[in-house]
Amino acid sequence: MENKQNKRAQQEMIGFVLIVVIVTIAAVVFLVISLRNKPAEQQNVEVENMLTAMFTYTTECAISNDDYDDLEDLLKSCYDNKKCENNGKMACDYLEGLLKEIMPDLIKTESQINYYELQAFHRTLEGANSRNIIKTLVNENMKCSGKIMSAQKNIAVDSGSLIVRLSFCYGD
C-alpha cells in the first residue's frame, strides 16, 4: 500500500517537472528567436533630410570651367569616370575621400548614433544592381544593437539610376 502511494507521488513529481521543463524550453526558444531578429530598418525623415543636405554640398571638384560640382553631380561624374580638372583627382577618389571626411563630422552632432552605413550603387533600368559607385562606408568595429533608421535617394542617369542609401543605428 505504501509502495503504491510512493509510486503515485513519484509520477506526480515527474509530471510537474515535465510541465516546468516544457514551459522553460518554450520560453528559451521564444527568447532566442526574438533576440536573433535583426532590428527592423525604418525610413526616417531626419536621415532623409541629412541626405538631401549632403547632396547639395558644393565640393571643390570642378569638372569644367570652375563650375564646382555639388555632391549629387559628383556622384554622376564618378559614375561617368570623369576627372576633376581643377585638382587633377579622379571624381571617384575625391568623392570617397570627401564622404570619409563628411560622415564623422555629421555623426558628431548626433549623440545617439553609434553606427552608420553609406552605400552608393548603380541600378539598371531592368532593376538589377550592376555595380558599386563607392566602397560601402561604415564606421568599423561597431555593431548595431538599437534601432536602424535609413533613407534612400535616387539620381536618374541615362542607363538607370544611382542609388544612395544611408543607414544609422540609434543605440540604446
Partner 1 sequence: MKNNKAQFKIQQMAFMILAVFLFFILIGLGFLSFQTKSLQGNYQQLQMDQAISSLQVLTDMPELSCGYLCLDEDKLRVMSRKSEQYAQFWPVASIKVYKVYPAFDSLIKCPTANCNYFEIYDSNQQNTQEYSTYISLCKRVKEQDNIYDKCEIGKLVVGVKIKQTE
**Identity of residue 15:** G
Q: CB of residue 153 vs partner 1: minimum separation in angstroms?
A: 12
Q: Where in 109-128 is the site for partner 1 (CB under 8 A)?
A: 109
Residue 162: Cβ-neighbour burial (10 angstroms; 0-12, 13-18, 19+) = buried
Determine if 13 is a binding residue for partner 1 (CB under 8 A): no
Distances (CA, A) of 91 to 62, 120, 148: 9, 14, 30
Dihedral (C-alpha) 50, 56, 62, 64: value to the nearest 10 degrees? 140
- Beta-strand relationship, 58-64 and 147-157: unpaired
Closer residue to partner 1 in complex, CB, 56/141: 56
3-state secondary structure of 94: helix
Q: Where in 29-58 is the site for partner 1 (CB under 8 A)?
A: 42, 44-46, 49-50, 52-54, 56-58
The residue range among 77-85, 87-95, 101-109, 112-120 that interacts with partner 1, by the rule CB under 8 A, is 101-109
Contact residues toward partner 1 (CB under 8 A) are 16, 19, 23, 27, 42, 44-46, 49-50, 52-54, 56-58, 66-68, 70, 101-102, 105-106, 108-109, 147
